[in-house]
Structure 1
């Protein structure tokens, strides 16, 4: 079995002859060096030489203004056909997490000749086959701090030890809980409240979504938290680093059996995870300027990306259909094509307001929203369960709507029709459903699911029914 850990590297920022704006790396003059990979350990090949943007992803714009910061990003991996160890592999996505810090040169015990400024900035990076950022983060933080404290960057023994420990830690693979570790759904809901559902429904429509924020880790974790709301998607991001990848679609098949008590069986039967980032799509939680231009041309039709460069705010209409400002907790729909379809219905608002209320009610700054400090209602597991139920009800309703349009008042005798008054599609938004039906992930969903999913999941909004006095109180509290 291939190691989950691909490699560990050190990236340093070299000021030699570089032109630096107040955004730190707005551009670099010809002949300058800027950020560079200084050391790589892992496998038989230094893969870092294939990723021109890795140094920029590891040392994000504005990171010099933080004592410590983290970046999560994706790397397109294309095997070398001339390398025997890679000949049988397929193009896919790798995942990087970096921890960057800086130190005054006066604190260095060993100062190399190319150190010409008062501070030195570097990052330690782990590249893995899966986005296991949570389990890696704490170990990476400890090692990076120790690496800086030793005052000698030429001594990389601790980096080698980190690599070896991580390889051993994940030698038997990873579980779902490790993939969700480090993603705070509570914080996402607390920050965006009802707008969280707008973002969730927007993601399924495959627009160009740009997240902006000054804190890189919060910027990246917010996007991963959003993506993780689609059941199983975190473990199926193999195609997200390039619009040319679509390997997962070729692996999808219609489920021939169902065990309703088994969550995995249920999700597969319902066509989950939805293949959001297939051909034409990109997800890269931190995207440097050097990579941004390549996403606005060619094969890329939609994306979910993040940036810390405030210059993009003045060019937001060029790069985004939807702009999410993590600093201000705002969601701005820039493309009029998405305005109507992303208006939440009354039932949508009732449901998300109740969910938001459960988080706000149990939130305190002291516990930083950690679910282990609260009861089940409002916890991470509760939020995930609620979105699972919402999405499956939505998928079932779409199938039921198609059934009604096909057969009307004369269904086949063998059809198991649920006792539903009218067409529940109105509670999810007909405009949204019409827009979803032109997406790539809907096409795949249709291909791999039974036409009568509503036999298994009730085709009805999870918040079906009128507004109670308690609902009104919750809505006012939001």
Structure 2
């Protein structure tokens, strides 16, 4: 088959490749039950055979742990076929139904419930749009209570083929279901840490359950990078197939002896190191001194390192950066949602983050775990729902636990590179305030787009442009400090930056050089810094716990003292009343006589 054909019999420009049904067999596990058109040329639609490139498809469409949920969905990536490097984008919706409710129950359906998924494979990254159509079809397919009725699946294929076209990826439809606003609400200030982490092309694992939330979070995160969803994932699962660290790697390497496991022992991971904690505390002290100096007419430079993590709340005081914050819409032409139109050609977007051995899988099946050990994979961004992936932490640089809202960074140098400087903290706090702030008719009034999904993406676009402009035009390295000089130097060694640097970009010269929130320290910065230290270092947490316990002890003591004093006063008052009553009786007796 010619390389211009990504799937046998299907040219690469075909929008919808297949509609597939995946079921769970009690003996064979997950398997293909139906495909339209057939996955292999010459095979019937109900063939269980799979192309070699898509051998993990059943485990992606019906993911690990799916039996724990009545229904859910998943976004995933597959490699191209026939030598093609083009990514195939998958969307799957799965549901359960009681076997007793089926009109046509097959003989091998031995369990009380039947679970199946309906999956669409496409060449277009229109995840949310496909999901919206697929969910309706899946409900109708299960509503038939007879899985042999596949007419609705053929109609879905034909309907989507007529609806989806490449022009849609240049419009707002590409972001349907990918909420940048939800990212800010979930990660708050940590979102900027994750954003900068992905620029560094490291080995990053996201962990969460259910899988729908996991895969949506990863793709929503990628939507913050201009053009990545539209064009930057086309080679995100393509890499050279070669020798692996262990060619005989089996599931027992993960501690699995059978299909079921009872208990997993996880070793404790220290969230911080004494060296980093000491540096963070010293930075807080230095910033306080810098504020005093600035009050005497001196303009301090931003400190070199900041802590990674949340602030534990928004800062009440307004931030007053030297330069104007990114409050207004983008300074270059935008579409109706405020997203820049010319960024692809003028600024060199999308950045080539997922190319040349850097892969992205919104969900990685446990059966595909050997990918993490492939020596040809230099970096990855993958999502997983199985806790066993977390156990193999030596294969990753960072694990982001969405459920626990925790970022575990195992490389001390990487921790320093991801420290947020004061200007970064201002930017993150600015985002959080505008997203959390309640507004009336946010999408209807003239400025209501502020705090919305496209507004958040525009802010990250401008942040990235400022960073690139600073590296390109910032002759003085002092301009790097607001972005963290260690981060900038590390970023300049990445593949995506070197590729961007090798090409001239006309628009970058017109962009602002320096951090958009650069400026003198203020009292709000000190409050922000102290909040960071208290919330995100072990020493700060211990101090905060001690203060809280002391406060509770003091309150308890005051209450006990109040009770004791109050009890004594009541007893004295009661005694005085009795004495006065007796005295009155003594006076009344003689008068009666």
Q: What is the TM-score normalised by the length of structure 2?
A: 0.66
Cross-structure match for 1:387? 460
Question: Residue 390 of structure 2 aligns with which residue?
Answer: 313
Partners of 1:472 and 1:384 lie apart in 2 by 28
Is 2:16 aligned against 1:5?
yes
2:198 pairs with one of 191, 197, 203: 203
Q: Could you give the per-residue CA deviations for residues 235-279 of structure 1, whole angstroms, max 9, x where no partner exists? A: 12111012239xxxxxxxxxxxxx954744344222211100010
Alpha-carbon deviation of 1:455?
3.0
Q: Which residue does 1:358 correspond to in 2?
A: 434
Secondary structure of 1:323's counterpart equals: strand
In terms of Rg, which structure is larger? 2
Choose which of 422, 435, 441 in structure 1 pairs with 2:490: 435
Name the structure 2 match of 1:97. 91
- For the residue of structure 2 that corresponds to 1:385, the secondary structure is helix
- 2:55 corresponds, among 52, 56, 63, to 52
Question: How many aligned positions are there?
Answer: 416
8 Å Cα contact 2:347/2:508 also seen in 1: no
* CA-CA distance at 1:391 after TM superposition: 0.3
Matched, 1:322 2:376: no
Match of 1:339 in 2: 415
CA distance in 1, matches of 2:59, 2:522: 52
Q: In angstroms, what is the RMSD of aligned CA positions? A: 2.8
1:163-312 correspondence to structure 2 within 5 Å: 163-171=157-165, 173-174=167-168, 175-236=170-231, 237-244=233-240, 261=333, 263-312=340-389
C-alpha displacement at 1:363, in angstroms? 9.0
Q: Contact 1:229 / 1:388 at 8 angstroms: preserved in 2?
A: yes
Flag the 1:361–1:472 CA change in 2: closer, same or farther, 3 A. Answer: farther
Secondary structure at 1:92 match in 2: coil
Indicate how the Cα distance of structure 1 residues 363 and 35 shifts in structure 2: closer, same or farther if over 3 A, else same.
farther
| SS, match of residue 159 in structure 1 | helix
- Structure 1: give runs of 5+ residues left out of the alignment: 17-32, 81-89, 246-258, 406-422
Using the alignment, how far apart are the partners of 1:363 and 1:284 within structure 2? 36
Q: How does 1:407-446 map to 2 (within 5 A)?
A: 423-446=478-501
| In 2: Cα distance, 1:290 partner to 1:155 partner | 31
Deviation at 1:400, TM superposition (A): 2.1
Flag the 1:103–1:353 CA change in 2: closer, same or farther, 3 A: same
Query: Relative to structure 1, is the Cα distance of residues 363 and 188 closer, same or farther in structure 2, using a 3 angstrom cutoff?
Result: farther
Deviations 1:25-70 (A, max 9, x none): xxxxxxxx11111111138856953410000001111111111111
1:439 deviation in Å? 1.1
Deviation at 1:301, TM superposition (A): 1.1
Change (3 A) 1:179 1:126: same
Q: Residue by residue, what CA displacement relative to the aligned partner does 1:438-473 show, whole Å, maximum 9, x if unpaired?
A: 2111110111135x9763112111112235567778
2:504 partner SS: coil
Residue matched to 1:410: none
Distance 2:381 2:344 in 1: 24
The 5 Å alignment of 1:9-48 reads 9-16=20-27, 33-42=28-37, 45=40, 48=50
CA contact (8 A) 1:241 1:283 kept: yes
Match of 2:72 among 45, 69, 73: 69
Alpha-carbon separation, structure 2, partners of 1:456 and 1:336: 36
- Conserved 8 A contact 1:4-1:173: no
1:117 to 111, 121, 125: 111
Given the alignment of the two structures, is residue 462 of structure 1 paired with residue 516 of structure 2, yes or no?
A: yes
Quick one: which of 78, 83, 91 aligns to 2:81? 78
Please report how far the alpha carbon of residue 119 of structure 1 lies from its aligned counterpart in structure 2 after TM superposition.
1.1
Aligned equivalent of 1:143: 137
Q: Which residue of 2 aligns with 1:160?
A: 154
Query: What is the deviation of 1:298?
Result: 2.8
Per-residue CA deviation, residues 350-376 of structure 1 (Å, 9 max, x unaligned), is: 111110121122399xx9xx9789922
- The whole-number CA distance in structure 2 between the counterparts of 1:279 and 1:438 is 15
Contact 1:10 1:125 in 2 (8 A): yes
Aligned to 2:472: 399
Query: Whose helix fraction is larger, Structure 1's or Structure 2's?
Result: 2
* Change in 2 beyond 3 A, CA 1:172/1:320: closer
Gaps of 5+ in 2: 1-10, 42-48, 242-330, 335-339, 536-593
Provide Cα deviations, 1:152-207, integer angstroms capped at 9, x if missing partner.
11111111111111111114742331111110111111110111000000001000
The 1-side partners of 2:439 and 2:369 are apart by 36
CA deviation after TM superposition for structure 1 residue 337, in Å: 3.2
Tell me the secondary structure at the aligned position of residue 75 of structure 2.
Answer: strand
Verify the 8 A CA contact 1:284 1:306 in the aligned structure 2: yes
How many angstroms apart in 2 are the aligned matches of 1:359 and 1:467?
24
Aligned residues of 1:68 and 1:101 also touching (Cα < 8 A): yes
